[in-house]
Structure 1
Amino acid sequence: MELPINRVLPDLIDRLRERENTVLIAPPGAGKTTRVPLALLDEPWLMGRKILMLEPRRLAARAAAGYMAKVLGEAVGETVGYRVRMDTKVGPTTRIEVITEGVLTRMLQEDPALEEAGIVIFDEFHERSLHADLGLALCLQSQALLREDLKVLVMSATLEAEPVAELLGDAPVLQSEGRAFPVETRYLGRAVEGRVEGVVVRTVLEAVEKEEGNVLVFLPGVGEIRRVEGLLKEAGLGREVKVAPLHGSLTREQQDAAIAPVVHGERKVVLATSIAETSLTVEGVRVVIDCGWMRVPKFSPRTGMTRLTTVRVSRASADQRRGRAGRLMPGVCYRLWTEQEDRQLAARSTPEVLEADLAPLALELAVWGVADPGELAWLDRPPVGAYGQARELLGQLGVLTEEGALTPHGRKVAEFGLHPRLAHMVLTADQMGLGALACELAALLGEKDLLRGGPGGAADADLRHRVEVLQAVRQGRTVEGIDVSAARRVLAEAEQWKKIVGIRKSQSDPGEVDACGILLAFAYPDRIAQRRGNGRFLLRNGRGAAFAEVQALSKEAYLVAAELDDRGSEGRIFLAAPVGEDELRLHAADQIEELDVVRWDRSTKSVRAWKRERLGALLLKESVLSDPGPDDVLAALLEGVAVEGLEKMLNWTKAARQFRERLGFMHRYDKEWPDVSEAALTERLEEWLGPHAYGMRSREELMRLGVIGLLESMLSWEQRRTLDELMPTHVTVPSGSRIPVDYSDPEAPVLAVRLQELFGLKETPRIVNGKVPLVLHLLSPAHRPVQVTRDLASFWREAYFEVKKDLKGRYPKHYWPDDPLGAVPTSRAKPRG
């Protein structure tokens, strides 16, 4: 069959003969996946070495290998083979290996030079999976340091070529035309409200009635696929129309059946996730129905948790899906969104490395010998925060040392291809004789929930019930309301892990089910949780978690949350198992901290001390500490002063306040004097209050301290000697009275004095060696202000006589001379005779 890619193959072969790296852009249907490896098979630069081609998904890898083997007239495992997770078909004569991305990582870790390979082809690189980015980064470093002759070919349908070409050392870019028949695109008249399943079913029924050929329906996930499948069965499509689910959780046989050609006279409706978006041809499809949504994992560094999020497809993904309808003949694409919504689609999806849990990546880099991702070449460098959190988790799991080096245990964890959490759980459990149970848990946690309203109901979060279901299915017993096919997949995968780890025990025992909690604690040490009441828990990492509704696990003192979301302040717990405090103390003894806690208690206004045992944020035990260290007590006391405020914690007499106000004025006037503002005193508590408060534990004791003495300790000898001279507490006025100076306003110290007591005084009294005039508040005989001035001489000259008229009328018995400067000052109504 003539395919568009055939026209570009000669140029591609020439470029690869000249250069190590090349980029090939070829739309869906061009034939790149199956034609390129075969075209390169006899190239002399291969020197008999293998071609490794990466596919993002297992189903696509097996399908590609099967098609190429068929072209050669051979069985899979001869010239063309594949390696995917837990399924390998290669032989001694295999030259082309179609592999999934995690397999490439394993091959590179075992042989960094990839001595058996001549070229690595990254197919469908536009999907930008985490392992694809990592595999390319490792290949480029291997190429730079170990294998100059290793070739790299990046192939994609919708990739922006320039950044990749630059990353590959300004590699040449080749463009192939696609082979696509016309596809009519139809949009909705108005946006979908609520669940999309009803609209999908109506559209399927319409398409089956009006159009020819098979129908490929894109849905976000397994839940939507099951619901649509059920609704279609109720609607009655007819015997000749088969409904076939297609997603990653199915068995190989079920997946193969979904993409296989139908027999004559039959039609097929394939309900698929994005697994069918690229590198896969579903035979006979002429109609695509795209709901416009996809489910992607998103990791939150804030919470340390990953949750599946339903997001709008990108423009690139929508076009890829649409192209499925025009592979073999003209087709139709129903887009279940409006044309206005279509214009708002993002150009492409976010690369997984920017949103994923980076613990597996951090482990692979540690095995590779790299601590800083910056040592490798990336299209998008892993985010610093998420990567740092991943390294922290690996430290908790014992995979990395405190210095960040890979431990022997970490090397074993990296060998299994499981997530580091689960690999650590399995290895640790095996040492306890619980390896079989751990493998079952690991397989369970990678599968969709087995229960559909089974034991405990659909809302039941107890993981132990899932293990009991597995044990029942293994024994051939019937359990109502469960997904039996999913249970069998879990059991089969668990068997694979047992073989890989080398666990001799064939299966878990019913009596072991209560060990689920401690095994989960090995995998999720950050999600050990302590009950707070009302179905609410505190996680070890400090976040809150809760059940959506009350259930048996709500009463447990401790549990481990294996699955929860990160929405809001409290995540919702979906899967968990109880764990005993005694188990935690036994198996996490090295992680339990014994702390002497000395803190200020606001309720008692005193320092209190406790001895605490903590597991992260969880308080396991608390008792009174009778003899806390005096330095710790002082630090807590000063913390209390800072929290409560100086006004509440010290005995501020009238004299003490004036002393502080005097110092405040002097600091404003001369910065050599100490700053006694609230902020400054609070910042320097240890310096001026600490020596006097040593040994004290309460506000009551602090109140006995003389504040003036405390503040004086901040002054130099010279400042103490001159303070009264520069800033007197009182000023003696002509009447002989000693009048206090009010320093409460640091910009304007005030002397409030009755006018009659100043007779004979020509100038305003001054402080600070005569440099600062006081603000005079001149008072009536009743001590009410009649005038405010800084210039007494001007007052006598210009304002006194007007004031005199008013005062003489109100206070006729008092002495109001015509010449105030020549009059006798008095503190009485009239001077003594």
Structure 2
Amino acid sequence: MDTPVFPIAPLLPEIVRSLDAHPRLVLEAPPGAGKTTQVPLALLDAPWLAGRRIVMLEPRRVAARSAAMFMARQLGGEVGGLVGYRIRFESRVSARTRIEVVTEGILTRMLQDDPELDGVGALLFDEFHERHLAGDLGLALALDVQAGLREDLRIVVMSATLDGERLATLLDAPRLSSAGRAFPVQVAHLPARRDEALEAQVRRAVDQALAQHPGDVLVFLPGRREIGRAAAALARLDTDAEVLELHGELAVEQQARVLQPAPDGRRRVVLATNVAESSVTLPGVRVVIDSGLAREPRYDPNSGFSRLDVVAITQASADQRAGRAGRVAEGWAWRLWPQSQRLEPQRRPEIAQVELAGLALELAAWGHAGLRFVDPPPAGALAAARDLLQRLGALDDDHRITPAGRSMLALGTHPRLAAMLLAARDDRDRALACDLAALVEARDPLRQRDDGWRARWLALAGSRAGRAGDAHRGTLATVDAAARQWRRRTGTRAEPPHDVPPHALGDLLAHAFPDRIARVHPRDPQRYQLANGRMARLADDSTLRGEPWLVASELRFEARDSLVLRAAPVDEAHLRQAFAAHFVERDEVRWGAERRALVAERVRRFDGIVLDTRPAGRVDPDLAARALSDAVADLGLDALPWSDGLRQWRARVQSLRAWLPDLGLPDLSDDALLATRAQWLQPLFQGLTRLDALAGDAFAEGLRARLDWALRQRVDQLAPARIVVPSGMERRIDYALAHDGAPEAPVLAVKLQELFGLAETPRIADGRIALVLHLLSPAGRPLQVTGDLRGFWERTYPDVRREMKGRYPRHPWPEDPWNAPATHRAKPRGT
């Protein structure tokens, strides 16, 4: 084929030379520069590659296929020869393949299965600016491999819009930039009219664009559903233009047709997702119509999964989309939102906003979590993910991966669904689990609201028999295809069943959502207690009302009870067999707030669900101590017998901890004390059954024991409770903490006459902290607050002396306070 000249061509020799001298490279190149297809080809004959393979990560399936096909044609071959690709459920590679284009999950599996990457000489991360979670993880794993096992491995991070300087600094890598090919693009805004649906707005914009401008029209829409609606609306236009769709679920032949010029020269209108933003090149486009929307993953707490939500695009994406109109000649970009609307400048990384169970499992399989991420995973989200994986049996108590966890990882799906697929008892059950996995991952096929999974599965089973009923046929066809892929992946030979018992779906889903197994409230058939200890309720029109046991796959979290959005009945006999270890009977002691005393009970539970309670005999001392310390967590630390001296001591410790961090003093804040109550408070309650039985002296000693003897001595030296003033008397220093826990300046309240002869403000904490002096009259009333005693004597004292001398004649008011003797007494009578 005739190879076009790409803007990146002049930079290719420099890219090869850079990688010869340095194993990492950050490459910035705008859309259309040719980086995706030309860089891998340029590296094929590099001496350092030594005949090994190049693996290029391409985030999207459409782009992976397209890039592989284009490079194969450039080399005069077919896909699967020198150039191949691997995506989910599809592989076109052979022993001859030297350039392998893979999607994100595939790269992660390659690294996990063979950390040394035998036979691979270079990893290329294309479109890294999209900041998908799997891409971030893949780069972190690759950097770890390069650092520990493969110093000769080359890593190239390529992006169209990225903070290249920051990334190059993080990777300690050179940074190269390529020019793009762009003609001027005129940008205009065409906001919606009042109550205008998106598809109607698109139809109006396309009609105007075809009439006013030459060339093909590219319309950016958030997803397949919106594309279908827009296509139906455009079918009513009086035009010869061909309307084509471009999204990840298209057949390969249809995708190839969109990416090639129209053979008959007809104008085309391409309705595309953001796959057309930077990953593929569409010939002939002169007009871009941008909805300003995209479907991106967001964590959905209702389901426990990350879902694709329709969100506003970033300014960087809007600029890239507009640039698509200026590839071949001057172009036009119409934005379907008001010009006054402001967009976020850059896309936030997925790692900061999605559920992290899959990432946590990958890290556990890798063996250590100390990887170099561009943006580290949030600690709270990672901890929650590990808790879930422990429930699923994927991690042990030390967060190490279990054999079951490795089997889940091999399935390449969310750990919840993987746990369900692995829990199937036989081939028939597994076929049903494959149906459920496909249904959970897909959009809802039902047109009418229904909170039961059975209705969705019956719609799927009905569609296979040619009777979809009132459901989305296209969605059911997609679900059926995905279920077939899952049966192939799991080696399931049984065909999906035509009918199943009422509890069959729930019995499988319970393995995916063990934390959301629920039992009906004994007095309210609409309320349920969940295994995680929370409460949930059914909608008033729910078909599940009164079911003894449910598993809720989707919940809407509300202030009181969560609302069950989707659930299925579960058989208690199945739970007792499959989750036998979760059914326990034990003595429990809890704090009874109404009686302000302990209550001892014999309790039968399924996880957090209380099945039965009855009074227990004597109170176990260990359980009592734990219950009392837990009561303090509920009531607050003020429930303990604090003295003023103990509160001051804690403030002294906390103040010193902030002023002199090198001392290594422990944290005695409320949060820290409650978090560590099992270590220091619980032993103090041993043998007690009431909160008020804890003596103040015992409590004070238990708290002070948080510091060893040497540290206690240092606290007394550096932050003394009292200080000797020039009068020879000891006076108290008051310590206080602000609402945020930061120390306030310590205060010394003292009569002015007691400081005669003292020139400088007293200091503590090795002289680092000056006391705030509250200078008092002989009657103990405030005269002045100062942190500068010398300045007070020089500037303020003469005025104070004139005013106070007549009011307190029996007390000394010398003209020279610097040399007068300090005293805490009045002058003798007659003097």
Q: What is the TM-score of this pair, normalised by structure 1?
A: 0.72
Paired position in structure 2 for 1:340: 340
Q: Deviation at 1:250?
A: 4.3
SS at match of 1:596: strand
Choose from 49, 69, 73 the match for 1:70: 73
Which digits, 9 at most, give the CA deviation of each residue in 1:510-566, with x for residues without a partner? 135631112111112122234455855444334455556622124433322324455
1:122 is aligned to 2:117? no
Residue 144 of structure 2 aligns to a residue in which SS?
helix
Aligned partner of 2:440 in structure 1 is 445
The correspondence for 2:491, drawn from 483, 498, 502, is 502
Partner in structure 1 of residue 669 of structure 2: none
Q: C-alpha deviations, 1:690-748, integer Å up to 9, x for none?
A: 98x97x9xx9xx9xxxx9xx99999xxxxxxxxxxxxxxxxxxxxxxxxxxxxxxxxxx
Q: Secondary structure at the match of 1:333?
A: strand
Aligned position for 2:553: 562
**Alignment partner for residue 177 of structure 1, among 170, 179, 182?**
179
1:781-832 CA distances to partner (integer Å, 9 max, x unpaired)? xxxxxxxxxxxxxxxxxxxxxxxxxxxxxxxxxxxxxxxxxxxxxxxxxxxx
Partner of 2:268: 268
Aligned to 2:511: 522
Q: 1:288: which partner in 2?
A: 288
Q: Which among 543, 551, 560 is matched to residue 552 of structure 1?
A: 543
**CA pair 200-555 structure 1, distance change in 2 beyond 3 A:** farther
Cα drift, residue 333 of structure 1:
1.0
| Cα distance between partner residues in 2 of 1:378 and 1:362 | 14
Aligned amino acid, residue 461 of structure 1: D
Structure 1 window deviating more from structure 2 (311-320 vs 257-266): it is: 257-266
After superposition, the C-alpha distances for 1:754-778 in whole angstroms (9 at most, x for unaligned) are xxxxxxxxxxxxxxxxxxxxxxxxx
Distance 1:263 1:511 in 2: 51
Rounded to whole Å, the distance in 2 between the matches of 1:688 and 1:410 is 41
Determine helix, strand or coil for the equivalent of 2:500: helix
Deviation at 1:278, TM superposition (A): 1.8
> Could you tell me which residue of structure 2 aligns to residue 314 of structure 1?
314
| Aligned residue identity for 1:367 | A
Instruction: Tell me the distance in 2 between the aligned counterparts of 1:73 and 1:443.
Output: 39
4+ aligned runs moved over 6 Å, structure 1: 189-194, 300-303, 632-645, 664-668, 683-691, 710-714
Aligned to 2:360: 362
In structure 2, runs of 5+ residues without a counterpart are: 648-676, 700-831
Cα 1:139–1:314, aligned 2, differ >3 Å: closer, same or farther? same
The structural deviation recorded for 1:391 is: 1.3
C-alpha distance in 2, partners of 1:207/1:298? Answer: 34
Give distance in 1, aligned partners of 2:698 and 2:13: 90
Aligned to 1:795: none
Per-residue CA deviations over 1:343-367 (Å, capped at 9, x if unaligned) read x322211111111211111111111
Kindly state the Cα deviation for residue 639 of structure 1 after the two structures are TM-superposed: 9.1
Cα distance in 1, alignment partners of residues 474 and 417 from structure 2: 23
1:119 CA drift (Å): 0.6
Cα 1:547/1:208, change in 2 over 3 Å? farther
User: What CA deviation, in whole Å up to 9, does each residue of 1:181-238 have, x standing for no partner?
Assistant: 22111024789878644433432332233233332222233443344344444xx113
Change (3 A) 1:551 1:257: farther
Residue-pair matches, total: 659
Name which of 382, 389, 405 aligns with 2:384.
Answer: 389
Distance 1:596 1:231, change over 3 A: farther
Deviation per CA, 1:627-675, whole angstroms, max 9, x where unpaired?
2426489769979999999xxx9xxxxxxxxxx9xxx99999xxxxxxx
From 40, 53, 56, give the equivalent of 1:50. 53
Indicate how the Cα distance of structure 1 residues 8 and 182 shifts in structure 2: closer, same or farther if over 3 A, else same. Answer: same
Is residue 590–residue 624 contact of structure 2 (8 Å, CA) maintained in 1? no
Rounded Cα–Cα distance in structure 2 between residues aligned with 1:633 and 1:324? 68
Match status 1:612 vs 2:603: yes
Distance of 1:88 and 1:298 partners within structure 2? 29
Query: Once the two structures are aligned, what percentage of the paired residues are identical?
Result: 44
Inter-partner Cα distance in structure 2 for 1:685 and 1:93: 68
Corresponding residue for 1:469? 459
Deviations 1:81-107 (A, max 9, x none): 000111000112111101111111111
Alignment of 1:426-445 (within 5 A): 426-430=421-425, 434-445=429-440
CA-CA distance at 1:395 after TM superposition? 1.1
Code of the residue aligned with 2:319 in structure 1: it is D
Classify the secondary structure of the residue corresponding to 1:339. coil
- Kindly provide the amino acid, as one letter, of the partner of residue 278 in structure 1: S
Other-structure match for 1:734: none
Q: Kindly tell me: are residues 116 and 213 of structure 1, through their superposed partners in 2, closer, same or farther at Cα, counting changes over 3 Å?
A: same
- C-alpha change, 1:226 and 1:573, in structure 2 (3 Å) is farther
Supply the AA of the counterpart residue of 1:516.
L
Bigger shift: residues 41-50 or 216-225? 216-225
Q: What is the match of residue 480 of structure 2?
A: 491
CA distance in 1, matches of 2:434, 2:267: 40
SS at match of 2:77: coil
Matched residue of 1:164: which SS? helix
The alpha-carbon deviation at position 256 of structure 1 amounts to 4.4
Query: Do the aligned residues in 1 keep the contact of 2:505 with 2:568 (CA within 8 Å)?
Result: yes
**How far apart, CA to CA, are the structure 1 residues paired with 2:415 and 2:147?**
29
* Structure-1 separation of matches of 2:403 and 2:634: 52
The corresponding residue for 1:592 is 583
SS in 1 for 2:8: helix
Distance in 1 (alpha carbons) for counterparts of 2:149 and 2:365: 17
Query: What is the match of residue 202 of structure 2?
Result: 200
- Would the aligned equivalents of 1:141 and 1:376 in 2 still touch at CA under 8 Å? yes
Aligned to 1:552, the other structure's residue is in SS state: coil
- The one-letter code sitting in structure 2 at the alignment partner of 1:203 is A
Query: Match for 2:613 among 611, 616, 623?
Result: 623
Question: Alpha-carbon deviations, 1:258-296, whole Å to 9, x = none?
Answer: 545445364433333322222112343222221222232
Give TM-score, length-normalised by structure 2.
0.72
Distance 1:578 1:142, change over 3 A: same
**Distance change >3 Å, CA 7–CA 506, structure 1 → 2:** same
**24, 29, 33: which is aligned to 1:26?**
29
Q: Which moved further from structure 2: 243-252 or 50-59?
A: 243-252
The CA distance in 2 between the partners of 1:444 and 1:363, in whole Å, is 23
Cα deviation for residue 132 of structure 1 reads: 0.8
Q: Is the contact between residue 629 and residue 685 of structure 2 (CA under 8 Å) also seen in structure 1? A: no
| Structure-2 change in CA distance of 1:223 and 1:562 (3 Å) | farther
> Which residue in 2 is equivalent to 1:279?
279
Q: Which moved more, 1:240-249 or 1:63-72?
A: 240-249
Deviations 1:550-589 (Å, cap 9, x if unpaired)? Answer: 2212443332232445576665544322213332222222
- Compute the displacement of 1:166 (Å): 1.9
DSSP-derived class of the 2:477 partner:
helix
Unaligned runs of 5+ in 1: 650-659, 669-682, 715-833
Residue 418 of structure 1 and its aligned partner are, at CA, apart by 1.6
CA shift in 2, pair 1:192/1:183, >3 Å:
farther
Larger Rg: 1
CA contact (8 A) 2:587 2:616 kept: no
* Distance in structure 2 (CA, Å) of the matches to 1:443 and 1:431: 18
Task: Quote the Cα distance in structure 1 between the aligned partners of 2:682 and 2:324.
Answer: 73
1:400 aligns with 2:403: no
State the AA in 2 paired with 1:45. W
Whole-angstrom distance in 1 between the partners of 2:526 and 2:314: 39
SS state at 2:424 partner: helix
1:529–1:559 CA contact under 8 A, matched in 2 = yes
Q: Deviations over 1:609-644 (max 9, x none)?
A: 43333334333x113124242648976997999999
User: Pairwise CA RMSD of aligned residues?
Assistant: 3.9
| SS state at 1:434 partner | helix
Distance 2:202 2:144 in 1: 47
Q: Is the 8 A contact 1:298 1:356 kept in 2?
A: yes
Q: For the Cα contact (< 8 Å) 2:240–2:267, is it kept in 1? A: yes
DSSP 3-state at the match of 2:432: helix
